[in-house]
Structures are given as C-alpha cells and as structure tokens.
Chain A
Amino acid sequence: MAAKKLSKEKVGEVLQELSKFRLITPVKSDDVVLFREIADPKEAFLEYGNSTVPPKKVVFPQTETLFRFTIGNPELREKNVEEEGTTVIFGLRPCDARAMSIVDKLFSWDYEDPYYLKRRELTTLVGMTCVQPPSINCFCTSLQGSPFGKDGLDVLLVDMGDHFLFQPLTEKGARMEETLASYLEDASPGDVERASSMEEEAKGKIVRSIDPQGIAEKLPSLWEDPLWKRVSDACLGCGICTFLCPTCHCFDMQDEVERGEGRRARMWDSCMFCEYTLHASGHNPRPTRKERTRNRISHKYSYYPKRFDVIACVGCGRCISLCPVNIDILEILEQVVEA
C-alpha cells in the first residue's frame, strides 16, 4: 500500500466525507480535549497534544448495555453493537492506538468479548503522529512505542508540516484510502524518507524513560518490600490513573431498573477503589491503598506480560500528569529496579 499525500486544507472535506460514518475526533469541551462523535467537521480539534480521556472509550465505553429485560418477562434482549455502525476515530495518537492493540489480547483471550470485539471490527483508526511530545511525561519509546508508531492503527497520518503523509496500514486502511481517494494525491518524492528522519527527531524529544527489562520478573519478588507503602502513602485512592489509562480495562457489572424496564450494564471500574475487591462477607483481600497500588503496577508490568507477552502500559504519561498527588509510575518503576 503506497503512501499518499493529504493536504491540510483538505482535512475539512475529508472529515465531511467521513461524517457519513460515526465519526469521532478530538474536540474541545471548554479547555478539555476529549474524543466525541461530531456532526460538523468544524468541531474537530486536531491541533492538540493528547486528549485527557483516551479514545479507548469509543470501543470500550465507560458505560454500556449488555442486555435489556422487562421485569416479569423472562426474555433477555441482547444489545446489538452492529447498530452503532461503521465508526472512524480520526486523529488519535499512536500510543492510544497501540493501547487498543494491547487490550485486544485481553478481550479476545479464551472467551471472546462480543461487544468489544464487534466494536473494534466496526472501527477504523486514523492516527496522527506526534511531532512534539504531547506531554513532558511521555515515555512511549521506552515501551516499543513511537510518536510515529503504527501498532493498532489502520492509517497513519504523518504530520509533514503543510500536509499529511497518508499511510494505509491494514485492509481497513486500504478501504479508507479508497473512500478518500478523491482527496488524496500522490506522495511527494522523498516524503517517506523524510518521515523516517522526522520520526527519529520526534523520538529524541521524549525526555522521560524507563528500561522495562527484568521488571516483570522482579516485581513478584518485591511483594513485601517497604517500597509499596512508601509509594502509596500519598495516594488518594481515586480512579484517575486507571480511568485515564488507555490500557486499563477493568469493569463492573450492574443491573439497573426503571419503571419495570431494566438492563444489565457494564461500566469502568478501578482497582484503586476500595470496594473493587470487597467481598460480600466484608473481607477485603486488598484492604489498603498499598495493596491496590502494588496490584496496579504489578498488573501492568508483570501479570499482563506474563499472560499476553506485552506490558500493559504505552507510556502516554496521563497517570503521571493527572495524578493529584504526583504519584509517578516512572519513579515507582525506578524504585523497583533499584530495590
């Protein structure tokens, strides 16, 4: 699949064309950047660093119906994800796309999760490179990612300044190229080479890092280490680090009934919440923030790689930047390495 050129003036028209699908782009809500379905291409806010809430919420909504029922009627009516229609996420960052490819492993492991997987199938990811790191706390390059990374994406738009280099990466990407053929031009000679030197330059701008080598094996040996108390003393036990993590995928399931009509729904849950592991008996196997912090880090850097051969962290830095008390996963990992 050959790379094409998409001039920046045509992005509006491209978004117009794509609005025949369920089109999701970064938008500004006051000063907060979020991914939302847009009706008008003008709503898209593509000059952004990264969104506060990752686009995982498109394929794994914060709250979604699993099935509906009517009290007194035994029939359970399964939610049909197909009805949501073909979806395009336009303008997401490579780390967030890579996160989806990591979470795919969980939702297709053993039992297939029909809701998530159907939505993934319906969704085409058109990513945009990070010429500047969106945050001082970006560290994607430590975890096999790149500001120009392609993992999980169907199309990568390389920001070449006045235009994008449109790189289709998958079958869905090729279909996207067909859809947008009339807006694309042949790539300028040398663009592909220039893109790869730009990638090196962009990587060089990322200032934070960790060497994950050996951490997965070391973590279980530090179970009783005093570091867990130290790093969790300041933790408030809120859900910021997990809800805003593009790879965190834990959920709760709840039944809701209103005037005889009910649904079973699932909604994001956080291992940092105290009632997450609370047994009905009152026993809690993770009674304090220490155990919960240890689980969060271990899950990402030890349990997940043990099962799925990949660390469940893409280095987007959100958990660092948005933590109210500056708990810093890189500092924790450094302490793990040094312990």
Chain B
Amino acid sequence: MVDVSKLRETAREIISREDVRELIGYRAGTYGFRARPAFVYDPGEVDQLIFNPACVNNLATYITLEEKLPVPRGQEPDLRKVAVMVKGCDSRALVQQMAENAYERDRILVIGIPCTGVVDMDKVQARFPDVLGPGEISLEGDKFVLIFDGRREEIPKEELLADKCKRCRFPTPLVYDVLLDEEVAPFATDDYSDVEALESRSQDEKWAYWEEKFSRCIRCYSCRNVCPMCYCNDCILDRLRPQWIRRSVDISENTAFHIARAYHLAGRCIQCGECQRVCPVEIPLMELNRKLYKDVEELYDFEPGVKVDAPPLLSSYRPDDPEDFIL
C-alpha cells in the first residue's frame, strides 16, 4: 500500500518545481466510498491527495483531454509539465499515447503507483447503498477493509475487486519518473476465458446478446470521453461533413458506433476498463475490446501500451503481416 504521507510529500516537491504546471491525482469523493480525480496547482493543495483501492479513475485521460485554446497575442504557451499519478494499467495508456506521438515524454511527469487492485465501486455500492460517508477502503492482506460511520467491515478481496484487476499482469507502472512504493509482482494471468465464451456463441446468439446491450445505449459518449486512447481532435462521431454515424439513437446507429469505436481501438486499447466502468447503462464494452485485443495478440504478436518505442500496430507495415483473413 502506498503511504499517504510519502505520496503527499512527493506531490509537494513536484508541484513546487518551476517546470510543473499541475499535478493530477486522487482525492476523496463526495459520498460513500468514492474517490475522484484531484487537480493540484499549488503546494498548499497537496494534503487532499490520497491513494486507496477506491481510486479507480485512469488519470492518463486528462493528459489528452484538455482543450487547446489559442494562445492570446503577446503571451507564451504554457509548456510546463503535467504531473500525473498512474497505476500499472493506467501507465500503459501513457505508453501507448506516447508511442502514437500524442505528446513528447518530457511533457509529463509520471508518478507511478504500484497497485494491488482497485474495487468495483458498483459492488461496493450494492453492499453498502446507504453509506453517505466519507467511507474509507483499504486492502489488508486478502481483505478489503471498509471503515465508515464508526464501523469496520472486512470483505474478501475477490468479492469487491474490479474484474480487470483479476487478470492484471502489469500492476507496477511501465513508465514513471517517481515510483511511490516497492514494485508489485503480477498477481494474475489472463486466460481470455471470457472472450472464448463469447467466441463460442452462434452468430444468432451473439446478435441477440449485443442487440439488447446496444439498444440501451444513449450515446452519452462517456465511453469515448473517458478513454485515454480516444483523443482525436476531430472525432468521426462529431463530424457532420461527412457524417459517418448519424446522431439518431437506434440499434443500427448505436451498433455502428460501438463497432467503429472498438475497431479504432484495435491494437490501441490497453484494457484499463474505464469505458465499461463509466457506462451508465452497463454495456460490457470490454468484451468487444478484449476480443480485438486477443485477435491482435494472436495475429500480430502485438500488445499495445507496453513499449514506448514500439510502432503503433495498425499504422505500420511489416512485409510478413498476416493477410489470410483478408478476402
């Protein structure tokens, strides 16, 4: 577990640096056991920073989310670094962003958090729906300990652990300038059994399954906006000329949207699972992304978000690329 006082001290040093503009970390949420992104601009603000298993957000998203406004005449662009706290899974987003030349390595200062797993907040909420909080979650051995309203509850780790953590192979960040704790050894493997279960279904079963899911989609685009790899300045979803995907919300356009998004993430999705976490109507988007992740791995022996200097899969050509699936 990351020591909070060490975290704050490190953050204080970093935000005090002249070449650092802001620091993105976590702070306590407004209700229940939530944690949420924190934006720190001043050393005086570091004492709000925390890290615990409720810190689910992938903060790498914010590196590419910021609107780039024209610099007013007579002013210099602010080129100072953005410091960002990342867990192992989140760090892969930074790696992939940089592999795609989204920005230069020296634009960011990475505070790595070796991670022992985060909770699935829906599972916590379902168990303790009436907790206004603030409640605290920590991991002690193989149990999550929840402290709230003067009570202490111990819950076996696997009952609250987020699904993505159950197959995490990269708990320690792959890129960092500062590491806040000892490296954590991979504690799980990924056997893709969920994807294989999906693959084994008949076409009709698959369609019935996804039709129900996609029919719920309200096209709030939270999956796109939260995704650290969805950072195109001009997303095809917003385009009117030409309009690739209509704004009307129906099963046909919704399907087109999700399929298009999954394909745009092929060889790029780093499995942080944020899209599925934020979906208000619980569309299991990671099933699509993981299917493509598995295909990419099998077809090209490629894993995104692991090496900064690896050329992005689908924008590079190799003479020995397999092509037998092309009609």
Interface residues of A (CB under 8 A from B): 29-32, 34, 52-53, 62-63, 135-137, 207-208, 230, 233-234, 236-240, 243-244, 252, 254, 256, 265, 267-268, 270, 273-275, 287-289, 320, 322, 324-328, 330-331
Contacts and interface: CB of A to CB of B under 8 A. Distances in A.
Interface in B123-139: 129-132
B218 A239 contact: yes
Contacts of A274: 67, 238
A32 B280 CA distance: 9
Contact of A238 (B31, B216, B222): B222
A240 B248 contact: no
Contact of A254 (B216, B247, B278): B247
6 contacts: A31-B282, A63-B249, A63-B250, A238-B226, A288-B69, A324-B274
B39 interface: yes
B57 A325 contact: yes
Given A34-B216, A237-B65, A287-B69, A267 B36 contact: no
A325 B132 contact: no
Contacts, number: 120
A52 B247 contact: no
B222 A136 contact: no
Interface in B242-274: 246-250, 274
Given A254-B246, A325-B37, A328-B31, A30 B213 contact: yes
Interface string B275-307: 001101110000000000000000000000000
B225 interface: yes
A52 B37 contact: no
B87 to A, nearest CB: 16
B30 interface: yes
B39 A233 contact: yes
Contact of A239 (B29, B213, B219, B238): B219
A135 B215 CA distance: 25
A137 B131 CA distance: 10
Interface of B: 29-32, 34-39, 57, 61-62, 65, 67, 69, 129-132, 212-213, 215-216, 218-222, 224-226, 238, 246-250, 274, 277-278, 280-282
A256 B246 contact: yes
A62 B220 contact: no
A32 B281 contact: yes
A287 B69 CA distance: 8
Residue from B215, B248, B250 having most chain A Cβ neighbours under 10 A: B248
B247 A34 contact: no
Contact of B247 (A31, A230, A237, A267): A267
A270 B220 contact: yes
A287 B66 CA distance: 11
A240 B249 CA distance: 15
B32 A136 contact: yes
Given A29-B216, A63-B248, A136-B132, A326 B36 contact: yes
Nearest to A253: B247
B249 A267 contact: yes
Contacts of A237: 65, 225
Contact of A289 (B67, B130, B221): B67
A322 B280 contact: yes
B207 to A, nearest CB: 16
A184 to B, nearest CB: 33
Given A136-B31, A208-B31, 18 more contacts: A30-B213, A34-B281, A52-B281, A62-B249, A63-B247, A63-B249, A233-B37, A236-B222, A240-B220, A244-B220, A267-B248, A268-B218, A287-B67, A288-B67, A324-B226, A326-B29, A326-B36, A331-B30
Nearest to B129: A136
Q: Which 5 A-B pairs have the closest CB atoms?
A: A324-B278, A238-B222, A239-B220, A326-B36, A328-B30
Contacts of B238: 273-275
A262 B61 CA distance: 39
Nearest to A263: B248
Contact of B37 (A62, A234, A239): A234
Contacts of A53: 218, 280-281
A325 B36 contact: yes
A322 B67 CA distance: 24
Given A274-B238, A324-B222, A324-B278, A265 B132 contact: no
Interface centre among B65, B131, B132, B221 (most CB of A within 10 A): B221
A288 B66 CA distance: 8
Contact of A326 (B30, B219, B224): B30
A238 B220 contact: yes
